[in-house]
Amino acid sequence: MHPTAPVLARSGWNVTTSGTSLTVDMHRTATVSAVVYQPRRTSGRSLLSEYSIRLSEDGRHWSKPVAAGTLADDTSAKTLNFAPQGIRYLRLTATTTAGGRSGWATGAEEIGHQAVGSADTRADIQLLGDPGFAGAPASLPVAGWTVKATDEETGQANDRAANVLDGDPATLWHSQWSPKATRFPHALTIDMHRTTTVSALTYTPRPTGVNGRIGTYAIYTSLDGVSFGTPVASGHWADDSTVKTALFSPQVPARYVRLVALSEAGQRGTWSSAGEIRLSGAVDPSVSGSWGPVTGFPLVPVATAMLPGNKLLAWSAYAVDRYGGSNGYTQTAIMDLTTGRVTQRRVDNTGHDMFCPGIAMLADGRVLVTGGSNATRASIYDPRTDAWTSTADMNIGRGYQAMTLLSNGDAFVLGGSWSGGDGPKDGEVWSASTQTWRKLPGVPAQSAMTADPRGAYRADNHMWLHATSQGRVLQLGPSKQMNWITTAGNGSITPADPRADSADAMNGNAVSYDIGKLLTLGGAPAYENTPATRRAYTVDLNGGGQPVVNRTGDMASPRAFSNSVVLPDGEVAVFGGQQMPVPFSDATSVMTPEIWSPATGRFTPLANMAVPRNYHSTANLLPDGRIFSGGGGLCGDCATNHLDGAVFTPPYLLNPDGSEKPRPVITSSVPDRLALGSKLSLTTGSPVSSFALVRSGAATHSVDNDQRRVPLAFRQNGDGSYELSVPNDPGVALPGTYLLFALNADGVPSIAKVVTVS
């Protein structure tokens, strides 16, 4: 649940039921960000399993689902998140009931009865308002704007209305309080002196003191400054200092925007105040991209792996919403990206609680998962048979370790002092041919640690590993000291250069965006409770000697616990994270993703997320060029469990009006397997300018050492077909499952063909 989102008062609501749907009429427009559903406790079962949520302004015309998904079959309260929107009506529909049992229609009646004030607590819903941290789109420039207030303090202080537009949060507007305080309502009216489409208002409370924080509010717009009509947003803001956002649904053309304060958040008096107020314009999806509906999962997707067949594998721990102990089983789920359905399954047969593991995508497309709560165990998921099996235990128990596949098809693991007891977590290698583990005494974990004040327990976690030729690995972080690792025989580890002027960057990201080129970004000097960095660096391995590191453009926001994904065109998108990393917290959440361009070295902001994605969140590139982002939390009875995810559509797929751009299409068949050094002939439905292989990724705890992008050399034949050249070096095209994209001259990718490079 949003920890700062207020529960909307249910007085005056009207709730009706019809078959499998429940409709709430709040009889006013309010910003709503989530439904909290408490299943009936008497049956011991959840009534609602698969669900959808739609919104309406008039009760007749309904949106497409803003959220849908599958709930865990238990009696815990469920928070169904979606992007905050100003609406009057909300409809919750059951697609299926838990365990295939009947009862939602009756349950809907019970919920509706409770929602309007019954003492019956068998089932209940609540709606959450503005979460506070859900920022608005980019602000409109305020040059030339003016603002007027119904009243302002000028006698004892210079608290004029104009202060809300001066760009200085230390100044403020305050309603008149001398010689006598005026009564509610207090209103501020902004005149932009031109008509523009407006999508949101952002309110920054006064930076000093608490008096006058706006509580209940309503926002109106006008084209002429005379007729303001009905509110475009209304609600109640929490009594705290966080920036507040009210989103308008739909976006409206306006010249004037009026904020009316109807109460003081802390009921301290009849006054109102504001530090700054900004308005946001229309969102251009061709620049910012767009988000699909929030999809509910029956568990917190702490770890995810992209599978063939357009499916996403996810798992949490022994429980769907918490971790602890070594219970010998894991809650898993598979999302079918074609249908949107999510199915749940408990894996018992491997004796492995796979919370906080290492992950490697094997050469044949299977997923190797090691350690975690059951610290020595190792399990393999085969997507061809949908089966989990055990492989040999590791020699060293580990949790929070890092893994990567090697160029020879074996897998390397290093670090992981979170689990498995005391002692060094030195390197070892899993053999694909013998399925056994071999210690590497020449690869001590100590050489690759950060200087975390908590020592090895936090210092050897979540390493960034990049496999290269001849079984070698570059460990390029999160320690500021980079290292070359060999894995033959006893192995060895030798220092590479430091990562330029970077500090240690625990819980940051490293992404391979081109052959021998990586981007590192974010992280913090210690695992938690230290400020994150906004810095980013490129690491180039193509010089034949030590890696060449250069600082590239900074992100707009510092981030730790974020996730980054390489796109088919070589750009890198980063999602979520915190400015101050604190596990199981949504404080200091960064809600605006960014995308980095290798051509410019700059980051550009993207459309805001609806749900924070911090500790225990994931992100994965999908075969259609979109990105899944989900998870966060896993803290049991806490306010920051996010049992959901959403799909982001990058700007390269969208026109300014939000419609999809025409895509190139690979029209010829592509073999399931491509040999290293081979040629591939194919045809496309329209001209293309580039091709790229992007390796299927597996993400957990901000790390995805599996993803890498390999641009392909090609030539165009006289008949319009193309001949592609697959690299002959397994250190470049690491064995495994890849997404093959064709891109046109505008950078629009095709839907990928899934191939195995071996």
Confidence check: pLDDT of 618 > 80? yes
The verdict on 180 and 294 lying in the same domain is: no
DSSP state of 293: P
120-124, 138-142, 468-472, 631-635: lowest mean pLDDT where? 120-124
DSSP helix/strand/coil, 191: strand
**Percent of the chain whose predicted confidence (pLDDT) is above 70:** 94
Name the pLDDT band for 533 (thresholds 50, 70, 90). Answer: very high
C-alpha angle 539-542-545 in degrees, rounded to nearest 5:
90
Residues 355 and 261 grouped into a single domain: no
Q: Which two tokens stand for residue 637?
A: 């009875």
Quick check: 639 pLDDT over 80?
yes
Distance CA 624, CA 633 (A): 28
Higher pLDDT, 435 or 238: 435
pLDDT at 106 (0 to 100): 54
pLDDT confidence of 118, banded at 50, 70, 90?
A: very low
Residues 278 and 294 in one domain: no
Average pLDDT over residues 729-758: 96
Instruction: Read off the DSSP letter of residue 76.
Output: S
Rounded to whole angstroms, the Cα distance separating 256 from 147 reads 9
The pLDDT value recorded for residue 262 is 95
1 falls within a domain: no
pLDDT of residue 388: 98
Read out DSSP for 196-226?
A: EEEEEEEEE--SS--TT-B-EEEEEEESSSS
Are residues 633 and 640 in contact, defined by beta-carbon separation less than 8 angstroms?
Answer: yes
DSSP category for residue 677? T
- The pLDDT score that the predictor gives to residue 651 is 97
What CATH number has the domain bearing residue 382?
2.130.10.80
| Two structure tokens written together for 534 | 């906004």
Catalytic residue among 256, 323, 400, 615: 615
What residues contact 715, with CB distance under 8 A and at least 6 apart?
A: 722, 723
CATH code, domain carrying 707:
2.60.40.10
* 685 touches 665 (CB < 8 A): yes
CB atoms within 10 A of CB 329: 18
Given pLDDT bands bounded at 50, 70 and 90, which one contains residue 120? very low
- Residue 1 pLDDT > 50: no
Q: Is-contact 757 708, C-beta < 8 A?
A: no
User: Could you write out the DSSP letters of every residue in 522-550?
Assistant: --BSSSSSS-----EEEEE-TTSSSPEEE
pLDDT of 2 above 70: no
Percent of the chain predicted with pLDDT > 90? 74
Q: How many CA atoms lie within 13 A of 692 on its CB side?
A: 29
Q: What is the mean pLDDT of the chain?
A: 91
Instruction: Determine how many CB atoms are found less than 10 A away from the CB of residue 637.
Output: 9
| Of 713 and 123, more confident | 713
pLDDT at position 105: 55
> 355 with 490, same domain?
yes
pLDDT band at 132 (very low <50, low <70, confident <90, very high): low
Range of the domain at 192: 146-282
What integer pLDDT is reported at residue 141 of this predicted model? 87
Using CA atoms, how far apart are residues 115 and 492, in angstroms rounded to an integer? 64
- Statement to judge: residues 589 and 719 lie in one domain: no
601 vs 118, more confident: 601
Q: Summarize the confidence of residues 81-90 as an average pLDDT.
A: 84
139 vs 538: which has the higher pLDDT: 538
Angle at 553 between CA 551 and CA 559, to 5 degrees: 95
Q: One-letter amino acid identity for 660?
A: E
Instruction: Give residue 117's pLDDT.
Output: 44
In terms of domains, do 642 and 688 share one? no
Residue 524 CA to residue 515 CA, distance in Å, equals 27
Q: For the chain, give the longest Cα–Cα distance.
A: 86
pLDDT score, position 235 = 79
Q: Are residue 619 and residue 727 in the same domain, yes or no? A: no
Dist CA 587 CA 579 (whole Å)? 9
Looking at the predicted structure, is the pLDDT value of residue 119 above 50?
A: no
Between 433 and 112, residue with greater pLDDT: 433
pLDDT at residue 46, rounded to an integer: 53
Q: Please check the confidence at residue 116 and state whether its pLDDT lies above 60.
A: no
Higher pLDDT, 756 or 33: 756
pLDDT band at 42 (very low <50, low <70, confident <90, very high): low
Kindly report which listed range (94-103, 252-261, 568-577, 679-688) carries the lowest average pLDDT score.
94-103
Query: Quick one: 275 and 294 in the same domain?
Result: no
Q: Which residues contact 469 (CB under 8 A, 6 or more apart)?
A: 407, 729, 730, 731, 732
Co-location of 430 and 488 in the same domain: yes
Cβ(697)–Cβ(629) below 8 Å = no
Please count the structural domains in the chain: 4
Last residue of a domain, one of 653, 681, 712: 653
Distance (Å) of CA 503 to CA 478, 532, 588, 589: 9, 10, 21, 22
Judge whether 615 counts as a catalytic residue.
yes
